[in-house]
Amino acid sequence: MSLEKKFGQNVRYWRKKRGLSQEELADRAQLHATYVSGIETGYRNPTVKIIGRIADALDIEPSLLFEDPEKARKK
């Protein structure tokens, strides 16, 4: 599985864990909802700045967005 897909899976996991819709996450991170959707599907390749904004919006450390999805689910 590509890094983009793993990253997207983790974004989706943490978004759902926080009870947020894609639109709510996008609003909190000051992004467009279609961009968030593209990240979650692995289509978009976000910059470090965007990764930081997403992590801040999810109230997590950016490193959690890169962990294996199974490891991230245990936290």
Read off the pLDDT of residues 50-65 as tens digits, 9 standing for 90 and up.
999 999 999 999 999 9
Task: Say what the pLDDT of residue 63 is.
Answer: 93
- Domains belonging to the chain, first-starting first, are 3-64 (1.10.260.40)
User: What tens digit of pLDDT does each residue of 19-42 get?
Assistant: 999 999 999 999 999 999 999 999
43: Cβ–Cβ under 8 A, 6 or more apart, which residues? 4
User: What pLDDT, on the 0 to 100 scale, is given for residue 68?
Assistant: 74
Q: Is the pTM of this model over 0.75?
A: yes
Residue 69 has pLDDT above 80, yes or no: no
